[in-house]
Structure 1
Amino acid sequence: MAPILEIRDVSRRFGGFTAVDRCSLSVEAGSITGLIGPNGAGKSTLFNMVAGNLPPSSGTILFEGREIQGLRPHELFGRGLLRTFQIAHEFSRLSVLENLMMVPGGQPGENLVDAWFRGRKVREFEAKVRERAEDVIDFLKIGHVAREPAGNLSGGQKKLVELGRTMMVDAKIVLLDEIAAGVNRTLLNDIAANIERLNAERGYTFFVIEHDMDLIGRLCDPVVVMAAGEVMRTGSLAEIQADAAVVEAYFGGSPMGHATTRAGNSA
């Protein structure tokens, strides 16, 4: 498989502090690639640069072979690079269905002329978007909350809606930022199963920041380890767990299996 995302010697400095230091890695198309490391390793800063929220101080980021550093998040969204967040960003007063229907860009109903004079065009497009949203709801098995205001959902249900929003457009790669945070084990299992299905059935590529080693072990191969802003090791989780230097840098010598960060107890 060819890389869909390549990060070449990327650095990010904040004044005299270097958060990411000449980082290089690649994500192969069709993979679920994990990104782990201790707090302060530079993982979120790296995600922010890939997603267009921060420009790199130096280095190159390639998506499908084209440089993307400096592009804004909405431009990357249009190219099929999407990101979810550790804390879900829902429209709290809109229903789950409406949240999903908000995702596709360029809807004719957003154009004043179309809204006033081309009502049929608007209605036909909205019907297609609604049909797709309902298909996503069926895929994720969240029909029981489809008409519920998204702000009323539990943390885990909101994560499912975030995943559903990536399905409303033709996503090529999805950056998942700590999908397990604040999610109980039952819902986390549902989220993981849906990620596996999207990868296997629809060819989604995922790049995953996560502290939960059980989830990393289930989903991710390869796994990239960052420490002090640099890539330290890339390999399977078993290879990483057996690397004494990684264990020392990540957990100060504690066995990785004993340091697994568990998801919270909220739903």
Structure 2
Amino acid sequence: MPPIIEVRHVTRRFGGFVAVNDCSLKVERGSITGLIGPNGAGKSTLFNMVAGNLSPSSGQILLDGEDITGVPPHKLFGKGLLRTFQIAHEFSRLTVRENLMVVPEHQAGESLLATWVAGGRVRENERAVREKADEVIDFLKIGHVADELAGNLSGGQKKLLELGRTMMTDAKVVLLDEIAAGVNRTLLNDLAGNIERLNRERGYTFFVIEHDMDLIGRLCDPVIVMAAGQVMMQGTLDEIQANEAVVEAYFGGSPTGHATTPNGPAAEVRA
């Protein structure tokens, strides 16, 4: 079977600046694949192209063997590719349950005519969507905030809600953009546990940009390193942390040629 995501020789230019340069990588089906690299490496630009928010200047992107180069996000949603954001995009004046219920496509109640002539079908559809939302709430253990306005949630709770919204449809792959940002360690542990459960129990594939190396080490295998718009290496986190060229790409080298962190010799990569 083909990789769930394949990026083939993708380049993205912004005027004379090349943000992603002839980049190729694969995300295997059923994996939790990490994407790390120093600031300016091109990670977010690559994510935006895979998610349909940007079109490549050249190259090709495939989803489950299908060419999706330049396909907009709403069409990718229908193909099973979903994305979360570093800053959560909740409907702040809807409850947690309502935020979940608006996700599924083609609900009967979206048609004004159906509400007039097929009220029974509309109510049955809404009942099924509500049951699905309650299942997601139970899975994520967020029942205590199910009827809270989403705008009142903490940063970590909003990230859990974003993860829950991916569960309201048949996702093939979920792009997670810096899920640890602004999340306390307790909620981050809950979030990581839910990602692991979705991967293990429901077969979700995750592609993760993250600067928290502890989280990358817990969740991701393999880990892909980007630098200067290209893939530098791929491997386990231990292999990456042992690679001096990778550490130098993050922190630069000392006059002796040995990679250093601001606190001395680089024992491990920290984004």
Aligned to 2:239: 239
Aligned residue for 1:9?
9
Q: Which has the larger radius of gyration?
A: 2
The equivalent residue for 1:141 is 141
Matches within 5 A, 1:43-82: 43-82=43-82
Would the alpha carbon gap of residues 76 and 32 (structure 1) be closer, same or farther in structure 2, given more than 3 Å must change? same
Aligned twin of 2:19: 19
Contact in 2 for aligned 1:51/1:81 (Cα 8 Å): yes
Cα pair 2:2 2:65 within 8 Å, conserved: no
CA-to-aligned-CA distance 1:167-205 (integer Å, 9 cap, x gap):
000001000000000000000000000000000000000
**Residues 256, 151 of structure 1: CA spacing in aligned structure 2 closer, same or farther, 3 A cutoff?**
farther
Residue by residue over 1:31-75, the C-alpha shift from the partner in whole angstroms, topping out at 9 and shown as x without a partner, is 000000011110000000000000000000010101001111010
How far apart are the structure 2 equivalents of 1:258 and 1:146? 40
Q: Show the counterpart of 1:204.
A: 204
1-structure distance, mates of 2:198, 2:169 = 13
Q: CA deviation at 1:97?
A: 0.1
Code of the residue aligned with 1:181 in structure 2: it is: A
Counterparts of 2:187 and 2:21, CA distance in 1: 36
Please name the residue that 2:40 is paired with.
40
Give the CA deviation at 1:224. 0.3
Deviates most, 113-122 or 218-227: 113-122
Partner of 1:117: 117
Match of 2:108 in 1: 108
Report the aligned-residue RMSD.
1.1
**2:268 & 2:75 partners in 1: Cα distance?**
41
Q: Percent identity?
A: 75
The whole-number CA distance in structure 2 between the counterparts of 1:256 and 1:110 is 56
* Aligned-residue offset at 1:229: 0.5
Listed as ranges, the gaps of 5+ residues in structure 1 are: 262-267
Q: How many residues align?
A: 261
Give 1:21's aligned amino acid: N
* Counterpart Cα distance in 1 of 2:227 and 2:206: 21
Deviation at residue 251 of structure 1 after TM alignment: 2.2
For normalisation by structure 1, the TM-score amounts to: 0.96
Q: 1:209 to 1:256 in 2, by over 3 A?
A: farther
- 1:94 maps to which residue? 94
Paired with 1:205 and 1:103, the residues of 2 have a C-alpha distance of 19
Q: Distance in 2 between matches of 1:75 and 1:216?
A: 29
Q: CA deviation at 1:12?
A: 0.3
Secondary structure of 1:180 counterpart: coil
Q: Cα 1:256–1:89, aligned 2, differ >3 Å: closer, same or farther?
A: farther
Within 2, Cα distance between the matches of 1:245 and 1:38?
Answer: 13
Tell me the distance in 2 between the aligned counterparts of 1:219 and 1:151.
28
Q: Is the 8 A contact 2:241 2:269 kept in 1?
A: no
For the 8 Å contact 1:214–1:260, the answer to whether it is kept is no
Q: Which residue of structure 2 aligns with residue 192 of structure 1?
A: 192
Is 1:173 aligned to residue 185 of structure 2?
A: no
Structure 2: 5+ residue runs without aligned partners? 253-258
Report the Cα distance in structure 1 between the residues aligned to 2:178 and 2:204, rounded to whole angstroms: 18
Q: State the partner residue of 2:256.
A: none
Write the distance in 2 (CA, Å) between the matches of 1:57 and 1:49. Answer: 10
Alignment pair present for 1:152 and 2:152: yes
Q: Residue type of the partner of 1:6?
A: E
Give distance in 1, aligned partners of 2:29 and 2:243: 26
2:255 maps to what in 1?
A: none
Letter in 2 for 1:85: F
Judge conservation of contact 1:61–1:69 (CA < 8 Å) in 2.
Answer: yes
Q: How many angstroms does 1:2 deviate by?
A: 4.2
TM-score (norm 2): 0.94
C-alpha contact 2:34 2:220 (8 A) present in aligned 1 = yes
Q: What secondary structure is seen at the aligned counterpart in 2 of 1:69?
A: coil
